[in-house]
């Protein structure tokens, strides 16, 4: 669809106050869902991130890679297992996770960003030991520990490596792999890493890209502007449940811990990032602390 020059000018003018307001502010983006697997959406995402960097924002990308991990596990004849929505990660599976997240997926994102004029650098939490983690145990109904292997719980994030990259106009692209006290690798939920990183960096925004329009009420209607208190209510009455629980929990923790706003957006929408950050309309749910 062609856009008249006057309409293009209006769109650019609409973005100006947002560019001014967010100049030199950090925005943490959790990249996942269809936006990571559809070739056109991947290109749109890369262009959006590079544009945000060029107009003065400091985007930091944290990515997942569940479908790609499942695909490689199948190729090596290993079936993925999940307990309470968490991937059981034995040492063999952890090798695959590191290959996919720290290698294949991470470097593909870096290459796409660099192709469109960015200066992207791919890292994992093992680089500089900047994401320290310990073993995560799940709880059974009888309150007993369930061992799911090398799955990590974040103990500490050192912001200095990301800050150094930002200060030299690089775009950090982070695979959600943590490191233990003895150097062991841990697989960590990407939403959790993005949320904790946003808190640590005192980010202006945390953006979580999903395969849903955002947070929906029980009738399937999109909920746009939410407070942390309202989200607590949605947890309590069962509106938020299932696969959205860890994502919204990370968003809520970030909003309560100093991140100015958290956005849950539909990554299936072309240029969803630009629409959410630089326009009046937005394409998802925004959560603020108060």
- E strand or H helix at 288: strand 284-288
Known binding residue 75? Answer is no
Known binding residue 187? Answer is yes
The bridge status of strand 261-266 relative to strand 284-288 is antiparallel
- CATH 3.40.47.10 for the 5-288 domain, yes or no: no
Instruction: Please give the model's pTM, rounded to 2 decimal places.
Output: 0.92
Helix (H, G, I), strand (E, B) or coil at 25: coil
Known binding residue 66? Answer is yes
State percent of the chain over pLDDT 90.
58
Known binding residue 87? Answer is yes
User: What are residue 251's phi and psi, to 5 degrees?
Assistant: -65, -45
- Averages of pLDDT over runs of 10 residues in the chain (290 residues) are 73 88 95 88 96 96 92 90 86 94 96 97 96 92 89 95 94 97 94 95 93 82 82 81 74 88 90 89 79
pLDDT tens digits for 90-110?
999 999 999 999 999 999 999
**In the chain, where the domains are located:** 5-288
Question: Residue 243's pLDDT is what?
Answer: 66
């Amino acid at each position: 669809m062609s856009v008249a020059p006057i309409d293009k000018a209006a769109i650019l003018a609409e973005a100006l106050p947002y560019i001014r307001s967010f100049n030199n502010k950090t925005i943490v983006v959790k990249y996942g869902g269809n936006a990571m697997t559809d070739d056109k959406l991947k290109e749109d995402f890369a262009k959006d991130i590079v544009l945000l960097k060029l107009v003065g924002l400091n985007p930091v990308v944290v990515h997942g890679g569940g479908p790609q991990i499942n695909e490689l596990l199948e190729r090596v004849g290993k079936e993925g297992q999940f307990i309470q929505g968490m991937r059981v990660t034995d040492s063999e599976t952890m090798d695959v996770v590191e290959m996919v997240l720290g290698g294949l997926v991470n470097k593909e994102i870096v290459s796409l960003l660099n192709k469109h004029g960015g200066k992207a650098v791919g890292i994992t939490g093992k680089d500089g030991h900047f994401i320290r983690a310990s073993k995560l145990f799940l709880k059974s109904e009888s309150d007993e520990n369930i061992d799911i292997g090398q799955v990590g719980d974040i103990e500490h994030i050192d912001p200095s490596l990301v800050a150094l990259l930002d200060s030299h106009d690089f775009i950090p692209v982070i695979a959600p792999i943590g490191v233990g006290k003895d150097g062991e690798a841990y697989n960590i939920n990407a939403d959790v890493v993005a949320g904790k990183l946003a808190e640590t960096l005192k980010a202006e925004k945390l953006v979580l890209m999903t395969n849903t329009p955002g947070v929906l009420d029980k009738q399937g209607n999109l909920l746009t502007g939410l407070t942390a208190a309202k989200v607590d209510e949605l947890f309590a009455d069962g509106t938020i449940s299932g696969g959205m629980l860890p994502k919204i929990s990370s968003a809520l923790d970030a909003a309560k811990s100093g991140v100015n706003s958290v956005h849950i957006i539909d990554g299936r929408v072309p240029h969803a990032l630009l629409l959410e950050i630089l326009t009046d309309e937005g394409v998802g749910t925004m959560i603020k602390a108060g």
